[in-house]
Amino acid sequence: MKVVLEKYHGLGNDYLVFDPNKNTLKLSQENVKLICDRHFGVGSDGILEGPILEKEKMEVRIWNPDGSIAEKSGNGVRIFAKYLKDAGYVQKTHVTLSTLAGDVDVQYLNEEGTRMKASMGKVSFWSDEIPVSGERREVVNETMIFGKIPYRVTCATVGNPHCVIFLNEISKDIVCRIGKNSENASYFPERVNTQIMRVIDRQNIEIEIYERGAGYTLASGSSGCAAAAAAYKQGLTDSKMYVKMPGGTLEIEILDDWTVLMTGDVGFVGTMQLGNTLVEQLRALE
């Protein structure tokens, strides 16, 4: 049995596309963890399974490298849209993808499909929608304690949960130290993605990211959307801005109804066929 994967990245946030229409392997939590392992498997920040053609829309299932399922991924939806164009599933200039968090409309901005604008849906700061524990409220500029240290945070959802922390200095070390405590903190019943953010000016912010189920990542589309919305919510930026991450920059626009538009690039890495020994290990974990 052959297993073929396509590898892409969105600003250094790398995903493997697993097309169930071309592979007979059934993905599970354990074999996803092995595939994503950077030493014993292929290595990636997650797997995009699809297109799942049971419905009228193009459905994608987003796997985190720990084998859990993510509701939505900003880089993931752009990568998957690029794959659909490369594989001939889509010939139009746009596509609607179905995710666990709802539909995402993606517009191709060039013929190659390497640059796209995605409508990520409406951002919400309401605690019961993110979710955040406690009474129903907008979680804006609230104090939370991670690792015995208090931080001022704003929490948001664009289909998946985010905790944004405003700091004057940001780095990989800082976000990893905070993220290891915040991801599974009791405030967040479904865990949380963590961003530390520095506001540069009204059109530019900078973030570092610790993703739920993945750890430190070079870029995250949904994290960029949440951080931008948090900055705009508190009047620190304009509605259009650039979000700078270690892997690259996204353009974010927040509309009057709080719909978030995300524009960014996608790169194709290559096609790979897994070796027989690894395939046998994966089949044993189905």
What residues are designated binding site? Answer: 13, 64, 74-75, 160, 193, 211-212, 221-222
Q: Which is it for strands 149-157 and 142-146: parallel, antiparallel or unpaired?
A: antiparallel
CB 139 within 8 A of CB 125: yes
Residue 175 token pair: 């976000």
Alpha carbons 230 and 235: distance in angstroms, whole number? 9
Q: For 31-172, list the strands marked E by DSSP.
A: 47-52, 58-63, 69-70, 94-99, 102-108, 115-122, 142-146, 149-157, 161-166
Residue 250 token pair: 């996204």
Alpha carbons 140 and 229: distance in angstroms, whole number? 11
Q: Under the phi-then-psi rule, with left for phi > 0, alpha for psi from -120 to 50, and beta for the rest, what region is 253?
A: beta
Q: Annotated binding site for substrate, which residues?
A: 13, 64, 74-75, 160, 193, 211-212, 221-222
Closest to 104 in 3D by CA, of 124, 86, 121: 121
At residue 91, the 3 state secondary structure works out as coil
Neighbours of 164 (CB within 10 A): 27
